Structure 1
Amino acid sequence: MHPNREAYLVNRNVLSRRLLAGVAVAALALTGCGGNDNAEPAGNDGSAANEYANLSGELKASGASFPDAYYQEVISAFKDEAPKVTINYNATGSGTGKKQFGEGLVDFAGTDSLVKDSDGVAPGSFLYVPTVAAPITVSYNLEGVDKLQLSPETLAKVFQTDIKTWNDPAIAADNPGVTLPNTPIVVAHRSDGSGTTSNFTKYLAAAAGSTWKLGSGDTVAWPASTQGGEKNTGVAQIVKQTNGAVGYVDLSDAKATGLTYAAIKNKDGQYVLPSLEGTTAGLEGAEIADDLSYNPLNAAGASAYPITAPTFIIVKPSYDDANKAQLVKAFLKFLLTDGQELAPEVDFAPLPANLKEKALAQVDKIQG
């Protein structure tokens, strides 16, 4: 992770809170000038101005590292509204998060991939709550090359190491007029069970067809010559430190690490760089299942970025502890309302309005 990223996020939060505090003071002064001496100022008193202020307790969560920057931002903002609530989200990776949720070690879990029988989560013991979406970048480090285009078939051959050098004819065909060096390709991938891996490999299976031979899932059998990194930040560091490296990294971590990323050929034949606009375009064509799972990968549309990944929080339909249920519902309600406005600040796309409303209705189902 970029060494200044944590300080950047902290400073931004501090500045935002100071700005809000200044607005509040100004508003209070104007109210005083209005002459209603008996009016009580709104604040952290449980009034309509802040429905979260009287909540108290602790929530433990773990899971996907892909949305971690967003979740930490929302948790910080929620703490301002609910100062007596502590939420700890540990970015362990989707696989570990689902396992810990199934074992009852956490109150909710983040995952970029859907629950499978092998995850240890009993059928009927969870609900999907969509949160945000973001592009998975194909980030690379290649001296002298700051623009790169890759088709799905070429991308598949690179990641299963059928293509071994950057000046391979297949890469050259995707990049007419670009001088490519005879540099060995170093493939970087996730070493832990990862929803980012699941979505990236699902994309390759869908877009590259029979060219892609490694299958899809939270883990796949990568060739022995490749390098594994823990979490998105681990893959980002391998790419950052290795000339000739290429890896798949969420946009937030790729930008924070200062990586360069390729334009990917989409379903309409257009080469598109990862962006929030391209992500939103990809979301527009996604079909939403009854359980609120959805798949925006390889979506149609000239401006759609094809490796657009969803992410979810899984929660219990019913909690034995009524206060715990109240806290989970309050946090998710905040995430799906005020929290959506924070998403673009850390390079995530908010949910489309129709999906957000369905997600809020899903949260209302939680009992306790």
Structure 2
Amino acid sequence: MNRNVLSRRVLAGVALAALALTGCGTSDSDSDTPGSGNNAGGEYASLSGELKASGASFPDAYYQEVITAFKEVAPNVTINYNATGSGTGKKQFGEGLTDFAGTDSLVKDTDGVAAGSYLYVPTVAAPITVSYNLQGVDKLQLSADTLAKIFQAEIKTWNDPAIAADNPGVTLPATPITVAHRSDGSGTTNNFTKYLAAAAPNTWKLGSGDTVNWPSNTQGGEKNTGVAQIVKQADGGIGYVDLSDAKASELKFAAIKNKDGQFVEPSIEGTTSGLEGAEVAEDLSYNPLDAAGASAYPITAPTFLLVKTSYDDPAKAELVKGFVKYLLNDGQDLAKDIDFAPLPASLKEKALAQVDKIQG
């Protein structure tokens, strides 16, 4: 669990304990105060049942934290989210094996999800870091063209002139580069390659998607954690990893040159800046990659939940709606502590309206 979140919960527990002690000896009527005792949880307390979900590993840390917090206000609800990767999540959702799915990429015909059967619900956004492991180099800057050449294995050593040009005054070793990428179908891969296709269109040759044909001399790892592990173990390693997992693995990450020509490190502030200029489609999909703005981090990725337009069981529909509304309201307050950016207010309101469309 994120240390900031853990500290907050410890403090909350101390506060609740103190409140319980000061409440001793009060009249019975005090126990009916809204927000305390059996009334804790308000609109969510009456919910009960189980939800199964799978999908993107990119937002997994955030979803697990929200699920844990939701359990405190809806104790009779069990939610299992399995971070299988966006590709598997969409497939399992389309096969009816799960009640909702997490994805960082949009649904394609090949995903097996019937058109008109689902809705996109934006949840949070986060930077995709370019994490690296290079002894003696604690600060690194990379432009999109250089990044494209590295991940296409055209640049093979760290002292390559293209990397040196991005890092004037930095002594770079002749260490071979070990490129790490996702081996599973991944929305993180989709967004990372979409960024390279947009920001380095004359250099990037591998296209974009949940999977691409990486060079044979690169290494694949499952989920963001798998990529992080490869980078951490290889002197000269480089890979794309969400900020939360990169921090958990104690990796260093590069500053990336944005559309305004500024080298920006991945951060929640840079992600928020990237979100401000994103155009939102009618179905609530949006693309904040390579956004304009001096402070915008250019590899800012959205993530979504896929929910059904209609559930056969009305109780299941209410359960899904209850959880997603909690995520979009109270759950947004947890985002920054786990290195995710909450939705802008206007997009949050549209997402809540999207949830109201669910039938059951």
- 2:218 is matched with 226
Counterpart amino acid of residue 141 in structure 1? N
Counterpart secondary structure, 1:89: strand
Aligned mate of 2:54, from 62, 68, 74: 62
Q: CA deviation at 1:40?
A: 1.9
Listed as ranges, the matches of 1:336-351 within 5 Å are: 336-351=328-343
TM-score, structure 1 as length reference: 0.93
State how far apart, in whole Å, the 2-side matches of 1:189 and 1:39 are.
55
State how far apart, in whole Å, the 2-side matches of 1:7 and 1:281 are.
24
State how far apart, in whole Å, the 1-side matches of 2:176 and 2:286 are.
37
Aligned mate of 2:238, from 223, 246, 249: 246
Q: CA deviation at 1:36?
A: 9.4
- 1:113 is matched with 105
Specify whether residues 203 and 27 from structure 1 end up closer, same or farther in structure 2 by C-alpha distance, changes over 3 A only: farther
Listed as ranges, the matches of 1:209-358 within 5 Å are: 209-358=201-350
Whether the 8 Å contact between 1:281 and 1:305 is mirrored in structure 2 is yes
- 1:18 is matched with 13
Deviating 4+ runs (over 6 angstroms): none
* Structure 1 gap ranges (5+): 1-5
State how far apart, in whole Å, the 2-side matches of 1:283 and 1:27 are.
45
State how far apart, in whole Å, the 1-side matches of 2:14 and 2:301 are.
33
Counterpart amino acid of residue 16 in structure 2? A
Aligned mate of 1:133, from 107, 125, 132: 125
Aligned mate of 1:207, from 188, 199, 202: 199
State how far apart, in whole Å, the 2-side matches of 1:239 and 1:202 are.
22
Whether the 8 Å contact between 2:194 and 2:209 is mirrored in structure 1 is yes
Counterpart secondary structure, 1:325: helix
- 2:115 is matched with 123
State how far apart, in whole Å, the 2-side matches of 1:337 and 1:154 are.
40
State how far apart, in whole Å, the 2-side matches of 1:64 and 1:16 are.
31
Q: CA deviation at 1:47?
A: 4.5
Whether the 8 Å contact between 2:87 and 2:187 is mirrored in structure 1 is yes
Specify whether residues 24 and 333 from structure 1 end up closer, same or farther in structure 2 by C-alpha distance, changes over 3 A only: farther
Q: CA deviation at 1:53?
A: 0.9
Q: State whether structure 2 residue 192 is matched by structure 1 residue 197.
A: no
State how far apart, in whole Å, the 2-side matches of 1:296 and 1:215 are.
18
Listed as ranges, the matches of 1:3-152 within 5 Å are: 6=1, 11-12=6-7, 14-19=9-14, 21-22=16-17, 24-25=19-20, 28=23, 32=26, 37=29, 40-43=32-35, 47=39, 50-152=42-144
State the identity as a percent: 74
Please say which of residues 43-52 and 277-286 is displaced more in the overlay.
43-52
Please say which of residues 174-183 and 41-50 is displaced more in the overlay.
41-50
State how far apart, in whole Å, the 2-side matches of 1:261 and 1:294 are.
25
* Structure 2 gap ranges (5+): none
Counterpart secondary structure, 1:154: helix
- 1:3 is matched with none
**Aligned residue-pair number:** 360
Deviation digits for residues 277-322 of structure 1, max 9, x if unmatched?
0000000000000000000000000000000000000000110011
Deviation digits for residues 241-264 of structure 1, max 9, x if unmatched?
110000000000000000000000
Counterpart amino acid of residue 15 in structure 1? V
Counterpart secondary structure, 1:246: strand
State how far apart, in whole Å, the 1-side matches of 2:241 and 2:42 are.
37
Specify whether residues 167 and 53 from structure 1 end up closer, same or farther in structure 2 by C-alpha distance, changes over 3 A only: same
Q: State whether structure 2 residue 171 is matched by structure 1 residue 179.
A: yes
Give the aligned CA root-mean-square deviation in angstroms.
2.0
Q: CA deviation at 1:74?
A: 0.1
State how far apart, in whole Å, the 2-side matches of 1:181 and 1:365 are.
56
